[in-house]
Amino acid sequence: MVYPHNGMIKAAMRGKSDLVQKDGLNYLIPEWKRFVTDYSGKEDLMDEWLNSLDGRMIIDQILALLPTSERKWVEEQLSPIDNLFRSMSFETNECVWGASNEKSNGYNRASHWYYYRINEQLLQSEPGKYSRKTAQ
Whether residue 136 is contained in a domain is answered as no
For residue 117, list its beta bridge partners: 91
Handedness of CA 41, 46, 48, 53 (dihedral sign): positive
The pLDDT-based confidence of 7 (bands split at 50, 70, 90) is confident
- Residue 133, domain member (yes or no): no
Domain that holds residue 96: 7-125
Q: What is the pLDDT of residues 75-117, one digit of tens each?
A: 999 999 999 999 999 999 999 999 999 999 999 999 999 999 9
Q: Rounded mean pLDDT of the chain?
A: 90
What phi, psi does 63 have (nearest 5°)?
A: -55, -40
List, for residues 54-67, the tens digit of each pLDDT value: 999 999 999 999 99
pLDDT at 136: 58
User: Is residue 65 assigned to a domain?
Assistant: yes
Please check whether residue 99 lies inside any domain of the structure: yes
Residue 93 near residue 133 (C-beta atoms within 8 A): yes
Let me know if residue 132 belongs to a domain. no
Q: Give the pLDDT confidence of 24-61 residue by residue, as tens digits.
A: 999 999 999 999 998 766 556 788 899 999 999 999 99
Domain assignment of residue 60, yes or no: yes
Given its phi and psi angles, is residue 24 left (phi above 0), alpha (psi -120 to 50 degrees) or beta?
left
Residue 42 lies in a domain: yes
C-alpha angle 4-83-23 in degrees, rounded to nearest 5: 25
Asked if residue 134 is part of any domain, the answer here is no
State how far the Cα of 21 lies from the Cα of 130, in Å rounded to an integer: 33
Question: Domain count of the chain?
Answer: 1
